[in-house]
Amino acid sequence: MAALRVDLRPLREPLGFVRGLQWFFSIFAFATCGGFSGSVSVVISCGGKSNISVSAPFAYPFRLNRATFSPPLTALCNGTWAEEVHLVGDFSSSAQFFVAVAVGAFLGSMAALGVYLGALHLYRHRDGKMALVDFVVTVVFSFLWLVSSSAWAKALTDVKMSTAAPLPHCDVPSVTCGAPGVTSMGALNVSVILGFLNLLLWVGSSWFVYKETHFHHPTPPAPPTAATM
């Protein structure tokens, strides 16, 4: 392609360096959230039987209302639980939105890096169209990171509350339930931190992209034509 001019110097400039950071941290943002799996475990004692361990696995996208305990509680404690017990809540919308934004940011930053490294001379053309598109995309992703990270942070708080809730019907004299044991959610905490870190990176990069647009560098007026004799 005649217009392609590979140049690695933009990586040493804030414009390309911050894009590289965005690409790197977006990978970990969707990996820490989208790759999570865990379980809730409870020890039950009843009817002369002690230490019966039941567990309910859950994972991304955190549709907890579909997670049931195994072995089934209906088979335990002489019918104390007449129906299957599910975890509470469906937090898939917030989780999937967060992961979708992270994947989109990964692809967008990678595409921008490709332009910077292979077509910077076109990006900095005097018409400024490519830089303007880049600026709009950067502002949009800054807003998306703000909304998705906030929504996912709230959803994660609700996930923790739901998985820590005690089993129902554990108040009868013949049934004793231990406190729920939940898989560590450290990776999910990290995903929230990475979400807000990506927000800062995209907001910060908007300034560097803005400097490339004609709003910061107005197009110089065309030189006057020579008067005809």
Q: Are 101 and 148 in contact (CB under 8 A)?
A: yes
Label residue 228 by pLDDT band (50, 70, 90): very low
Residue 227 pLDDT greater than 50, yes or no:
no
Q: What is the pLDDT of residue 44?
A: 87
Q: Are 109 and 22 in contact (CB under 8 A)?
A: yes
Label residue 223 by pLDDT band (50, 70, 90): low
The tens digit of pLDDT for each residue in 56-109 reads: 999 999 999 998 888 888 888 877 788 888 889 999 999 999 999 999 999 999
Residue 185's φ and ψ, nearest 5 degrees, are: -105, 30
In this structure, what token pair is assigned to residue 213? 């647009």
Q: What is the pLDDT of residue 225?
A: 56
Residue 20 pLDDT greater than 70, yes or no:
yes
Residue whose C-alpha is closest to residue 193's, from 138, 139, 145, 142? 145
The tens digit of pLDDT for each residue in 108-149 reads: 999 999 888 888 888 777 677 888 898 999 999 999 999 999
Residue 204 pLDDT greater than 80, yes or no:
yes
Residue whose C-alpha is closest to residue 19's, from 205, 207, 147, 155? 205
Region at 128 (left for phi over 0; alpha for psi -120 to 50; beta for the rest): left
| pTM for the predicted model, two decimal places | 0.85
Helix (H) or strand (E) holding 159: helix 129-163
The tens digit of pLDDT for each residue in 32-43 reads: 999 999 999 998
Q: What is the pLDDT of residue 229?
A: 38
The tens digit of pLDDT for each residue in 140-189 reads: 999 999 999 999 999 999 999 999 988 887 876 778 888 889 999 999 99
Four-CA torsion 68, 70, 72, 75, nearest 10 degrees: -160
Q: What is the pLDDT of residue 80?
A: 77
Residue 4 pLDDT greater than 70, yes or no:
no
